[in-house]
Structures are given as C-alpha cells and as structure tokens.
C-alpha cells in the first residue's frame, strides 16, 4: 500500500510533498521581500500590504517555481523514471537572505530521477520546466488585461508579475551553464534550445520594458 499522495495520477511521497511546500513558501517569502525592495523597506510594510505582497508572491514566483519542478517530474515519470523533487534548504535560506539585501538568487532544489534515458529523453525532461513557464506566462496575460480593463491595480500587478517572472525563469533556466536546464537541452538539440532560449529572452526583455517592475496594490 502506497504511503504517499496520488495527485493527477502521479505519486508524490510525503517527503517530496513537504519539500515542494517548503520551497513554495520560502520562495514566496523571498520574492515578497524582493518585491518590497528588501531590508528596512520590507519591515515598514505591516498588516494588509504585507499579506497582499506575500499572496502575490506565492501565486506568481512560488507557483512558477513549483510547476517548473513538477513538470520535470511528470515527464520523467512518463519515461518510466523514479523521480522526486528534493528541496535545497541551504539555497532556500540564501534566497531569503539575498532578498533582504535587495537582489534575488533562487535555486530551490531539483527533481532527481534514476533509470536509463536516451539523450532525447533527457532533453525532453529538461525543457519541460521552461516550456511550462512559457505556458504559465501566457495564462497570466488575460489576468493582467482584466486588471487593466476593470481598473484593479492588484489584479494587474498579479498578472504583470506572473508574466515577467515566468518568462524570466524560462530564459534563465535555458542558459547552458552548470546544472541549469539549458545545458541538457542543448546536448539534445541545438535548434530547439536556440529557438526556445531566444524566444524566452526576447519576451522577457519585451515584458519588462512594456509592463515595468513596480509593485502596486
């Protein structure tokens, strides 16, 4: 009998669920601090503004990271791999500390899998995360326009940050360096990597220039 959780047909162990939730919450806090400008500026936000800031962070940055990692797991399992996410608690701590200093460095953990895979399958698993972020960015587009249309700054802010953060994560993770997804994707298919990377970078730059990074509630 399984001691884990079955979600949408996929098995998640109690440890994996815990790590996913901890990573989601820690990144939510880190990005909330970052959105506020870090340090004393964050401390000045009390009550409802701080709660709203955290909720926006959890629904944008937190969800972006969470579903990025889950996408890696889903594709790995489809290739008959034993795959689980493990949080890197030291890096989560670093994310919060860096946010307090006014910048953000987030590497919440990774999906570890075992079993035989071809180079193509490795590439599919790697690119699943960035592609998920591109899809999520598209999902936040109508949220942003709904906020602009009805004149609700909070909804517009949620959509704006959802778009920008997901596009940035897609572009950043496709950099072909170290443990990032780009190195594995480029090892499988240079044309696929180049097309996806350039699209992500151009959309990220365009979204920042067009939408801006100010936080309004």
Q: Are residues 68 and 132 in contact, defined by beta-carbon separation less than 8 angstroms?
A: yes
Burial grade of 191 (CB within 10 A; 0-12, 13-18, 19 or more) = exposed
User: What does residue 19 show for φ and ψ, rounded to 5 degrees?
Assistant: -65, -40
* Distance linking the first and last C-alpha atoms of the chain: 48
How many whole angstroms separate alpha carbon 153 and alpha carbon 112?
Answer: 40
Q: Which residue among the candidates 11, 16, 69, 119 is catalytic per the annotation?
A: 69
| Residue 16 annotated to the active site | no
**Structure tokens, 162:** 């959802």
Q: Could you list the active site residues?
A: 69
């Amino acid at each position: 009998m399984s001691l884990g959780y079955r979600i949408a047909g996929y098995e998640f162990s109690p440890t994996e669920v815990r790590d996913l939730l901890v990573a989601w919450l820690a990144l939510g806090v880190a990005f909330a601090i970052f959105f506020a400008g870090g340090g004393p500026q964050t401390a000045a936000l009390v009550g409802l503004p701080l709660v709203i800031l955290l909720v926006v962070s959890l629904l944008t940055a937190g969800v972006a990271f969470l579903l990025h990692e889950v996408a890696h797991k889903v594709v790995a399992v489809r290739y008959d791999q034993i795959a689980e996410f493990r949080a890197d608690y030291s890096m989560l701590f670093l994310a919060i500390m860096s946010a307090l200093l006014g910048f953000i460095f987030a590497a919440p953990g990774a999906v570890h899998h075992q079993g035989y895979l071809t180079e193509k399958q490795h590439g599919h698993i790697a690119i699943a995360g960035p592609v998920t972020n591109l899809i999520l960015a598209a999902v936040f587009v109508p949220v942003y326009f709904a906020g602009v249309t009805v004149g609700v700054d909070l909804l517009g802010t949620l959509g704006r940050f959802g778009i920008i953060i997901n596009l940035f994560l897609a572009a950043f993770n496709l950099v072909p360096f170290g443990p990032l997804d780009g190195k594995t994707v480029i090892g499988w298919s240079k044309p696929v990597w180049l097309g996806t990377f350039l699209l992500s970078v151009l959309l990220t730059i365009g979204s920042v220039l067009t939408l801006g990074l100010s936080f309004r509630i």
